[in-house]
């Protein structure tokens, strides 16, 4: 009797794994924009995940899949907010006009309205407070420092002026006005701040008196 050949059994085919659904970056931007708008309009306490989903035209599951908590969504909303950079500030040849340009751009980006909306979150959420400090406080001080340095190189500011100290003054006063005094940051205040505080500090005594 002929020897029986062992049957050769082929390995079963490995099923091809279907890739997961790709995350829609465009939808992320819409959700973040909705969160920022609600923070400006209603503040942190009034900005709910359900309201964000409704404003963005997205399902609640879509929002929660991307941001499991309101704190995380708020942090990313702040991180993605448009900030003024030194490259965007026109070199007008005048420190006063340069600084007024920053105020105009910040108003257009609604940065101060967003800052106001974050006040309760800053008090309650350490993660939001840290991002706020980096974006709004450190960022503005750094921008002021760069604009002052540019003015110094133009010859507007004397060599001995402490630019680091001067750069911290305006952001500190703006934060006090918004967060403590709860007053609007209008054009009249900005001009008063520049003419009464920042420019006299930045210019040499002889220049400030002229």
CATH code (residue 195): 1.10.357.10
Its domain, for residue 118, covers: 86-209
Q: How many CB atoms lie within 10 A of CB 38?
A: 21
CA-wise closest residue to 87 among 172, 138, 147? 147
Strand residue runs (E) in the chain: none
Tell me the Cα Rg of the chain. 27
Q: Tell me what the mean pLDDT of segment 48-55 comes to.
A: 96
pTM of the model: 0.77
d(CA 165, CA 31): 38
Burial 131-141 (b: 16+ CB within 10 A, else e): bbeebbbebbb
Q: 141 lies in a domain?
A: yes
What is the domain count for the chain?
Answer: 2
Give the pLDDT confidence of 57-114 residue by residue, as tens digits: 999 999 999 999 999 999 999 999 888 999 999 999 999 999 999 999 988 888 888 9
Given a cut of 70, whether residue 137 has pLDDT beyond it is yes
Q: Are 66 and 56 in contact (CB under 8 A)?
A: no
Q: Give the domain-ending residue among 79, 97, 115.
A: 79
pLDDT at 155 over 60: yes
CA distance 123 to 120: 5
Rounded to the nearest integer, the mean pLDDT of the chain is 86
Contacts for 188-193: CB closer than 8 Å, 24+ residues apart: 190/100, 190/103, 191/100
144 and 63 part of one domain: no
CATH number at residue 48: 1.10.10.60
Instruction: Say if residue 141 is in the same domain as residue 179.
Output: yes
- How far from each other are the two terminal CA atoms of the chain, in whole angstroms? 121
Residues 199 and 99 occupy one common structural domain: yes
In 3-state terms, what secondary structure has residue 90?
Answer: coil
């Amino acid at each position: 009797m002929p020897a029986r050949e062992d049957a050769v059994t082929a390995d079963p085919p490995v099923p091809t794994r279907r890739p997961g659904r790709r995350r829609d970056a465009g939808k992320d931007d819409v959700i973040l924009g909705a969160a920022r708008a609600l923070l400006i309009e209603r503040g942190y306490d009034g900005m709910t995940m359900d309201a964000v989903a409704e404003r963005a035209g997205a399902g609640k599951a879509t929002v929660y899949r991307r941001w499991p908590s309101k704190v995380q969504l708020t942090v990313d909303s702040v991180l993605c907010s448009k900030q003024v950079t030194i490259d965007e500030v026109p070199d007008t040849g005048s420190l006063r006009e340069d600084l007024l340009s920053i105020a105009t751009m910040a108003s257009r980006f609604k940065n101060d309205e967003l800052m106001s909306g974050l006040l309760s979150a800053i008090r309650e959420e350490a993660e939001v407070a840290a991002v706020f400090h980096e974006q709004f406080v450190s960022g503005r001080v750094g921008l002021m420092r760069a604009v002052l340095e540019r003015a110094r190189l133009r010859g507007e500011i004397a060599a001995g002026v402490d630019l680091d100290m001067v750069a911290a003054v305006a952001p500190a006063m703006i934060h006090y006005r918004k967060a403590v005094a709860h007053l609007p940051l209008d054009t009249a205040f900005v001009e008063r701040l520049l003419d009464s505080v920042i420019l006299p500090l930045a210019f040499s005594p002889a220049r400030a008196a002229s």
